[in-house]
Structure 1
Amino acid sequence: MTVKFAPRLSAPLFTLAASAFLVLAYNYSFWQRFLFATGGFSLGNLPLLGATFVLLVLVFNACLSLVNYRHLIKPVVIVLLVATSAAAYFMNQYGTQIDKAMIQNVVETDAREAGELLSLKLVLTVALLGVLPALLVARTTLTFAPRRRHLLTNAGVVVGSLLLAAAILLLFFKSYAPALREHRELRFLLTPTNYIQATNSYLKQKWTKPQVVAPLGRDALKGVTWAGHPQRTVTLLVVGETARAMNFSLNKYERNTNPRLAQQAGLINFSNVSSCGTATAVSVPCVFSALGRENYSDGKAQGQEGLLDVLKHAGFDVLWRDNNSGCKGVCARVEYEDWSEPVANDPLCNSEECYDEKLLERLPELIRAAKNDLVIVLHQKGSHGPAYWKRYPKQFRQFGPVCETNELEKCSQAAITAAYDNTILYTDYFLDKVIKLLRQSSDEDGVDTAMLYFSDHGESLGEKNMYLHGAPYIISPPEQRRVPFMLWFSDRYAERFKIDRRCVAASASQPFSHDNVFHSVLGMLDVSTAVYNPKLDIFNACTHG
């Protein structure tokens, strides 16, 4: 006769055991950071560490006791175990912290990007730390007291757990206060509370999204510099992906990652620019809104028109060409083209995706055939990780050895950085090609042309054991916030809009941010509207006449 293993526990003991397991099994990143925040491991620190463990178990136990009912508690714990094992993997693997922006980034990514994060180690981690404990929970027999006594027991456990937790908090408050004040990242590292709170915030934001989009800049008109100039204009806004400024040799990086752009006459490179967020889902809507980082929220941005709408009101034809995971709502009311789907036997694509050069396909013909002034946004795949080696054709593999796995712990930091630097080298080639295309359109078709390039956010490549991006902005490292930003104008474009190149170049080392983009684009195109703020226009002090 086969004896099947089926543990038997009382319901209150089960929630206590589950709470202890959650605190111990999935919070390596939290404990590592907590040790650092409280002075490291020592005999004198043991009472604080032990008290913190008990405090967390008590708080988790109080929360689980609120749902400790027959037919409910086991499904809740099973979902927690599987979800928390996956969250713990990404936190331990990439040094990520989980907040609302990270959840938004996860929800709004596409299948190809999500697939790059899958690995055997992830599957094994979820299987061992998620599925196996979940199966044990499923097989566990729980005993419940009669309904009334069970309700009273649950209430007593909740109140008792919270009172004991409060007592511990007060007893060690002198140690907790500076640690929590100086290390706010701890709340983004404690799981499962981090992703539960972040998901709740994200869903609340989505559910309260206004149905009506408020108009913005409906008064927009082309200014006086447009008079007497029959030539059409084409302005390309190139939105980079995951490019960090410090890996551009234009910004004094030791590797020559910008050999072509360094030779481009008239290119103006800004070396001190900060992003609005640390993830695409935040930065892209933010940079095209009039809100600025301090006032930005997804709900506000989705609830009013943005830069591309204002340009349409002023009479421009606007087109968004995408080689990424979409425009995050920014291009909802303008023409949109998706160039990310791979095409068989196309040298600009591989079996999984297309290289950024695909964005330039048939673009000269489009510019030549246009009857109106154009603003075209090119949204790159850029340097999106962790599969950096997939972002560029083989001939751009100039730095090495290269990390060719999404399990970054298997690679040295040097190999990860080499693969990343090759993506910047390819972006250098891509932007150089954009400028040559615009120069040719100017020379051959008489079109006044310009390019503005900026990245959405940066990237961590192992500094302080952090990888990728998406860290909460308040504690994010400069690697994730400092972004490249550069400008190029054809001669006639600069003359037409009376832009003094030397004046603009003289300000290139000043601190700017994504907040400047909205108003600078309106300024460079001489668009008059009440929503324009000259104080945030990079060109305002450098136009004359």
Structure 2
Amino acid sequence: MLTLGASAFLVLAYNASFWKTFASATGGVHAGNVPMYLGAFLMLVLLFNAILTLFNFRFVIKPLLAVLFLGASAASYFMNEYGVVIDASMVQNVLETDPKEAHELLSWKMLETVTLLGVLPSLLVWRLPLVFRPIRRDLLLKAATVVVSLIAGAGLLLLMFKVLAPAVREHRELRFLLTPTNMFQATHGYLKRKWAAPLVIAPLGTDAAHGPKWAALAGQGKRTVTVIVVGETARAMNFSLNGYTRTTNPLMSGQQGLINFRNVSSCGTATAVSVPCVFSGQTRDDYSADKALRQEGLLDVLHHAGFDVLWRDNNSGCKGVCDRIRYEDVSHPVPGDPLCNDEECYDERLLRGLPDLIRNPRKDLVIVLHQKGSHGPAYWKRYPAAFGKFGPVCQTNELEQCSRESIVNGYDNTILYTDYFLSKTLDILRASAADGSVDTAMLYFSDHGESLGEKNMYLHGAPYIISPAEQRTVPMMLWLSDGYRQRSDIDQQCLAARSTQAFSHDNVFHSVLGLLDVSTAVYNPKLDITHACARGI
């Protein structure tokens, strides 16, 4: 009786997102579908009952149910509150995220949900007086329970297969929504990837060297400084440069020589996927997190070619892509620093000391600036008060307490601040190039986008196959100083004409190698955005 009751409770109490999606996938809620919903409910209860019966032993079942109730209550809260789904990438996000970012997701409503649906049911189960039969009779009864539950569940499945099969086939997200099975499936997927084999880093691009264009400039003594800005959670559709009705890019829209690519897709929908992917040299279709973890990437190739490479971080780390190069973490607040608040630092801190770094490079330099950007749900914390142009702003991580308009206002203010940050970066690069000592360039792209209430989804991290465009479409911009463009022999008008073509994170690895004229066997000119616009080719 305990396992049967617990199964029914699990199916009912923690699966609002599942049932909502299931209802939509089967034609909506109406009287004719009631038998199907009841049948699906009974089928899931019987399946859960069969599984729980296998663990229904003294000293096992009560702790197991407590863990299930607590975990399922937290999972259902995030699914209901933010529209997320639970998969291996989401587990990776949870386990590898910065503690400060994780803290922003905690709220009183979450505490209430976990208490009501997790703690209280666990206490109730813990206090139940269970009677276990003699072992032989108990095992026979459990075996019968498992068999009967599976046979009855299979019978229901056969009766409803014609209706269920198309819904499940067309809505693969259902398996990510069914709690608690999604938690175990996601955790298993994550651990399988994590512990697959001992970590051995395979070399990549060890043949890399300065290409033929560098030979023509030998003896001039001018260094290059290339700044790669990795944005965070910026979606392209909220950039006025891409047609957004609000003026969120007042400064970048006036930057001369800026090329804004309007149709760019990300490799993933979360930092833990997109950042390793974009620097790995793998395409999204072929991307393997295991391979990326065990192989050198773009920054290593540049290092092999003789470039000095620096990663500056105002986020939660580089996800392994900068492990073998210089790394600076500027994210920790310092008392009295005007570029920090009590909890974190603003992205401008990434620019501190940058002019001196640029003007006095020991050799050709590549700098990666990793933004905090627009990371949610605490959008209002991502920018100084002076950039609160759009209001009113939601100032709680409990998004259900805010109107969608106030959430979007806070998000748009983060884009406004990113516009200022990028413009200030360009001003530094332009000023450094003007004195003739260095040639400078900047490439900006975001790691992924963000949902802001569309289809009742918030934040990011949805499985790519079912993710909305808001989480996949990202901004990307390129700026070259006159000297850098001449050095690279790039036709600016040709490049500008390509700004509306469809590109993706797949192009970043090879475009950086092409811009810097790095000769290596791993370079693919077909994925280099600039290759078609290089004169003499």
Does TM, scored on the shorter chain, surpass 0.5?
A: yes
Answer yes or no: is 1:450 the counterpart of 2:438: no
* Deviation readout 1:181-224 (Å, 9 max, x if unpaired): 22111111111111110011001110014421111000001101
Residue 90 of structure 2 corresponds to 102
Query: What are the equivalent positions in structure 2 for 1:255-274 lying under 5 Å apart?
Result: 255-274=246-265
Partners of 1:154 and 1:221 lie apart in 2 by 67
The answer as to whether partners of 1:86 and 1:126 remain within 8 angstroms in 2 is yes
Partner-residue secondary structure (3-state), 2:535: coil
**Which moves more between the two structures, 444-453 or 264-273?**
444-453
Could you tell me which amino acid in structure 2 is paired with residue 219 of structure 1?
Answer: D
**Which moves more between the two structures, 143-152 or 97-106?**
143-152
Residue 141 of structure 1 corresponds to 129
The answer as to whether partners of 1:99 and 1:472 remain within 8 angstroms in 2 is yes
* Deviation readout 1:127-164 (Å, 9 max, x if unpaired): 11100100011111211111122222222222221111
The answer as to whether partners of 1:243 and 1:483 remain within 8 angstroms in 2 is yes
Answer yes or no: is 1:187 the counterpart of 2:141: no
Residue 78 of structure 2 corresponds to 90
The answer as to whether partners of 2:448 and 2:474 remain within 8 angstroms in 1 is yes
Partner-residue secondary structure (3-state), 2:312: strand
Answer yes or no: is 1:519 the counterpart of 2:510: yes
CA shift, 1:115, in A, is: 0.5
Could you tell me which amino acid in structure 2 is paired with residue 259 of structure 1?
Answer: P
Which of the numbers 351, 356, 363 marks the counterpart of 1:365?
Answer: 356
Answer yes or no: is 1:287 the counterpart of 2:267: no
Partners of 1:163 and 1:233 lie apart in 2 by 70
Partners of 1:469 and 1:138 lie apart in 2 by 36
The answer as to whether partners of 2:210 and 2:517 remain within 8 angstroms in 1 is yes
Residue 9 of structure 1 corresponds to none
The answer as to whether partners of 2:15 and 2:177 remain within 8 angstroms in 1 is yes
Which of the numbers 463, 469, 474 marks the counterpart of 2:465?
Answer: 474
Partners of 2:144 and 2:535 lie apart in 1 by 75
Residue 5 of structure 1 corresponds to none
Which of the numbers 296, 301, 317 marks the counterpart of 1:305?
Answer: 296
CA shift, 1:441, in A, is: 1.1
Residue 155 of structure 2 corresponds to 167
Which of the numbers 22, 25, 40 marks the counterpart of 1:52?
Answer: 40
**Which moves more between the two structures, 90-99 or 365-374?**
365-374
Partner-residue secondary structure (3-state), 1:203: helix
Residue 102 of structure 2 corresponds to 114
Partners of 1:353 and 1:293 lie apart in 2 by 32
Partners of 2:477 and 2:29 lie apart in 1 by 47
CA shift, 1:103, in A, is: 0.8
Which of the numbers 525, 533, 536 marks the counterpart of 1:542?
Answer: 533
Answer yes or no: is 1:218 the counterpart of 2:206: yes
CA shift, 1:414, in A, is: 0.9
* Deviation readout 1:395-425 (Å, 9 max, x if unpaired): 1000111111111111111111111000000
Residue 2 of structure 2 corresponds to 14
* Deviation readout 1:484-531 (Å, 9 max, x if unpaired): 000000000000010111111111101100011011100111101111
CA shift, 1:445, in A, is: 5.5
Partners of 1:414 and 1:180 lie apart in 2 by 34
After TM superposition, the score normalised by the length of structure 2 is: 0.98
Residue 392 of structure 2 corresponds to 401
CA shift, 1:368, in A, is: 2.5
Number of positions where the alignment pairs a residue of Structure 1 with one of Structure 2? 533
Partners of 1:445 and 1:337 lie apart in 2 by 28
Partners of 1:211 and 1:395 lie apart in 2 by 46
* Deviation readout 1:82-114 (Å, 9 max, x if unpaired): 010000100000111111111111111011000
Could you tell me which amino acid in structure 2 is paired with residue 180 of structure 1?
Answer: V
Partners of 2:294 and 2:141 lie apart in 1 by 47
Partners of 1:21 and 1:207 lie apart in 2 by 34
Residue 493 of structure 2 corresponds to 502
Partners of 2:8 and 2:18 lie apart in 1 by 15
Residue 10 of structure 1 corresponds to none
Partners of 2:449 and 2:469 lie apart in 1 by 8
The answer as to whether partners of 1:210 and 1:302 remain within 8 angstroms in 2 is no
Which of the numbers 442, 451, 457 marks the counterpart of 1:460?
Answer: 451
Residue 53 of structure 2 corresponds to 65
Partner-residue secondary structure (3-state), 1:541: helix
Residue 330 of structure 1 corresponds to 321
Answer yes or no: is 1:128 the counterpart of 2:104: no
Partners of 2:197 and 2:416 lie apart in 1 by 40
The answer as to whether partners of 2:379 and 2:414 remain within 8 angstroms in 1 is yes
The answer as to whether partners of 2:514 and 2:530 remain within 8 angstroms in 1 is yes
CA shift, 1:165, in A, is: 1.1
Partners of 1:36 and 1:327 lie apart in 2 by 39
Answer yes or no: is 1:152 the counterpart of 2:143: no
Partner-residue secondary structure (3-state), 1:270: strand
CA shift, 1:355, in A, is: 0.2
Answer yes or no: is 1:484 the counterpart of 2:472: no
Inter-CA distance 269–531: structure 2 relative to 1 (3 Å threshold): same
Partners of 1:122 and 1:396 lie apart in 2 by 30
Residue 31 of structure 1 corresponds to 19
Residue 335 of structure 2 corresponds to 344
Residue 3 of structure 1 corresponds to none
Partners of 2:428 and 2:168 lie apart in 1 by 53
Partner-residue secondary structure (3-state), 1:329: coil
Inter-CA distance 515–175: structure 2 relative to 1 (3 Å threshold): same
Residue 234 of structure 2 corresponds to 243
Residue 424 of structure 2 corresponds to 433
Runs of 5+ unmatched residues, structure 2 = none
CA shift, 1:443, in A, is: 1.5
Partners of 2:440 and 2:6 lie apart in 1 by 63
Could you tell me which amino acid in structure 2 is paired with residue 523 of structure 1?
Answer: G
Could you tell me which amino acid in structure 1 is paired with residue 16 of structure 2?
Answer: Y
Partners of 1:231 and 1:369 lie apart in 2 by 11
When the two chains are superposed, the root-mean-square deviation of aligned CA atoms in Å is 0.9
CA shift, 1:337, in A, is: 0.5
The answer as to whether partners of 2:359 and 2:437 remain within 8 angstroms in 1 is no
The answer as to whether partners of 1:209 and 1:302 remain within 8 angstroms in 2 is no
Partners of 2:360 and 2:198 lie apart in 1 by 38
Partners of 1:66 and 1:520 lie apart in 2 by 55
Partner-residue secondary structure (3-state), 1:375: strand
Partners of 2:270 and 2:145 lie apart in 1 by 40
Partners of 2:358 and 2:139 lie apart in 1 by 71
**Which moves more between the two structures, 471-480 or 40-49?**
40-49
Answer yes or no: is 1:202 the counterpart of 2:190: yes
CA shift, 1:367, in A, is: 2.1
